[in-house]
Amino acid sequence: MSVTLREMAVSDIPEVHQLETELFPEDAWPLAAFESELAQSETRNYWVYESDGKVIGYAGLCTVLPISDVQTIAISPGFQGQGLGRKLLTLLVETAKERNALDVMLEVRFDNPTAIGLYESMGFVTIHRRVGYYKGGIDALIMRLQLDALQGQEGEHKA
């Protein structure tokens, strides 16, 4: 099964929204939210993974300098554990660097240890906990990756 990554198109929104409601039944974005996000191309970047003509993952980034925010990232359960989420997150971080952001921020449900583990493995650190942020009273962790620190390290390795 081949998986391809490409920029999200307006025609992908119904399928992305269907996957969103399957993966995040309590917290799913409404269809109009995806439409609004894609319409803001000056500050937004969205991608989808596709396999056999079907959307199996997606991610989005909002950049308003000096910060980039991970808006969403999701992989269909049948494709999890293959590194696709890590590749999407890497793409989001690289895009944030290209857009000259100093930090990448994200929110994650406290009860999602798989996602938290991925974010921590890529250098994100928890900077705050929002009590009862998600439906059902689930806390959110606010996590940050400092890009200015990473960019300085890259320069040191090249020297």
Catalytic residues: 107, 119
What is d(CA 44, CA 126) in angstroms, rounded to the nearest whole number?
24
What is d(CA 95, CA 5) in angstroms, rounded to the nearest whole number?
14
Across 16-115, the runs of DSSP E, i.e. the strands, are: 44-51, 54-64, 67-75, 103-109
Q: If we measure between CA atoms, which residue out of 144, 91, 102 comes closest to residue 120?
A: 144
Task: Note whether 118 and 89 are within 8 A (CB).
Answer: yes
Coil, strand or helix at 35: helix
Token representation of residue 138: 């689930």
